[in-house]
Amino acid sequence: MSRSGTGSVGNATRSPPHGTTSGGTSSPNVTDPATSASPDVSVQLVLDTSALLAYCHPDLAIHVGEPLAICEEDEDAQFAVPAVCLGEAVRNGAGEAMLQVLTGRDSCVIAPLRRGDWPAFGRDAVLLDRLDLAAATVVAAAYRAPILSQEWGRYPGDFPVISIGP
């Protein structure tokens, strides 16, 4: 497991660095994780669609299980799964039985988009060209938590991302 950005699974306070997108351009218009309000939940990690797909794959599940285990060492810590990412994972063939196991964990928060999220969600969807990535950035910014992803290069450098997989 390698990291991009800052923060750790067990640390809820993060100051993401200013960076560039994988295309090398500045990303000042993507939701700013340093200024978004945090809900009253101790979310330490956000799983995107690629992390959900990895969790459902027998050869890749350990790459998701390890960070979840670290997160769950703190009994009050939780991880978030954006609802949009769950839908996209199912659309891409993720096993619903495995997703039931994951979302059935006491530490799992299924994160919907809230009423006030639509401007940032829409802006991020345009900039990132995918609804699921935009949902992950909005949820990660709200909780000030890193995104667990196999697609770490798709996110702007402003976001702490924990890269998973081979």
Model pTM score: 0.77
Fold of 2-9+38-163: Rossmann fold (3.40.50)
Residue 154: φ, ψ to 5°: -80, -15
Q: Domain ranges in the chain?
A: 2-9+38-163
Work out whether the CA dihedral 106, 90, 131, 67 comes out positive or negative: positive
Query: Which tokens hold the place of 43?
Result: 């979310």
CA nearest neighbour of 30 among 101, 142, 122: 122
* Residues 125-151 pLDDT 10s: 999 999 999 999 999 999 999 999 999
Q: What is the pLDDT of residues 59-75, one digit of tens each?
A: 999 999 999 999 989 98
Both tokens assigned to 127:
């900039």
Q: How far is CA 131 from CA 28, 67, 80, 154, in A?
A: 19, 24, 17, 12
SS3 21: coil
